[in-house]
Amino acid sequence: MSVSLIPREDGLLVSNINNQKGLQIQCEVSSTFEDTMQNSARYLIFFQYIGTKYSGAVRVPPHQLAKKGVQNYLEDAIKRLKPLHPVSLTVSSRTDTGVHAFSNSAHFDLQRKNDMPPFPADVLVEAVNFHLGTEQIRVTHAQRVPDDFHARFRAQSRTYVYRIALGVPHYSLLPLTDRDLCWSLRQTELDVGAMREAAALLVGVHDFSSFRAVNSDLPLKSPVKTLDLASIQPGGSFTQAHFHRKISFWELTFRSRSFLYKQVRRMTGALVAVGQGRLSVPQLKEILAARDSLAYPQGLAAPAHGLFLTRVEYREEDLQLSQQTSEE
C-alpha cells in the first residue's frame, strides 16, 4: 500500500490514508526533527587578528570587495567544514579598519550533515585555523555554550590597549614586529603625570558624547557609559631585547562593558595631547562636560593601528551547558 505525505502548516507531515497512519507518521517525523535539533551546537570562539589589511571585525557586504572584514574570512573557513546550514557569526566587538585584536569573540550555531555529532572544541579550532590559511586571523579557543548565549550582549567587559612608541622620527625606524602595531611619536617624553590626572577624570559614569564619532548608530545608542579603568603604564617592543636601540613604549588601557564608536581612539588622542602639552587637564574636563562630539578638537583622535582589543569577559554561569548537553 502506498502512502502519500502532505505538509502541514506547522511543518509536520501527515498521511492522506487515515488518522491512525497520520498520527503514526507525525510522531516519527517529530522525533526525527527533535534528534536533528539536538545535533546542532552553539559555539563561542575567541579569535585574534592583525587588522591592517581588514575592513574591521564584522562582515563586509558582497558588493564591497576591495577589503573584507575578519568575519568574512571566519565564515568562509567554517563553510569549508560543510555544515548542514549556512553559518553566520555574531561578533561581540566591532573593531574598526586597522584595529587589531588579541582576543575578540563571537558565537554561531553549527550543525553537521548526516547526523554527525557536534565537533569537539579543539577539533573545531584546528579545522577553522587550517582553512584560514595564511590570513592573519587565528581562533585561539572554542567552547560549546547554551543555545540562548549571545556573545555581544552577555559580555561583561571589554578591554582595549593602545600602544605608543616615543622618539621615533619616522615609522620606518620601528622594528618590523611593531610596524603598524603602535603609534610612533617624535617626542622622546610625555608628561605622564598630567596624562594620569586627565585619565582619572574619565573613569566612572559619564556622558561620553564628546568622545564618540558620528555614525549611523548615533541616535540609537546611549552616550552614557561606565569606564572602569583608564591606566597609563610603561610598555615594551615585541623585540625589545633584540633591537639595536631602545625605544620607549607606553600602553594606555581602557576597560568598560561597552564603548561608543571610536571612543577609545578619541580618549587616547586627548590624553596624548595632554602629555604633549597641547591640551591642559582643565581643557579635557571641559571637552567631557560639553557632551557634544563637535567639542572634540578636529584631528586629535589617535590612529587605528595602535589599538588592540585584548579581552572580552563573560560570567562563568552564562557559559555553562546543562549537564545533559555537556554529556552528549
Q: Which residues have a catalytic role annotated?
A: 96
Q: Residue 55 has which C-alpha cell? A: 575592513
* Cα Rg of the chain, angstroms: 25
Cell numbers describing residue 47: 579569535
Separation of CA 41 from chain center: 21
Cell of 268: 587616547
All residues at 6 or more sequence positions from 131 whose CB lies less than 8 Å from its CB, including other chains: 76, 77, 78, 80, 81
Alpha carbons 298 and 250: distance in angstroms, whole number: 24
Find all residues with CB under 8 Å of 98, minimum gap 6, and list them: 51, 52, 180, 303, 304, 305
In three-state secondary structure terms, 117 is coil
Strands 183-184 and 157-166: parallel
Rounded-to-integer distance, Cα 110 and Cα 38, Å: 11
Residue for grid cell 502532505 = 6
CB of 100 closer than 8 Å to CB of 180: no
Q: Please name every residue paired with 46 in a beta bridge, in sequence order, or none if there are none.
A: 105, 141
To 10 degrees, the CA torsion angle through 33, 34, 38, 43? Answer: 70
Count of beta carbons in the 10 Å neighbourhood of residue 185: 19
- Do 258 and 157 meet the contact criterion of CB atoms below 8 Å apart? no
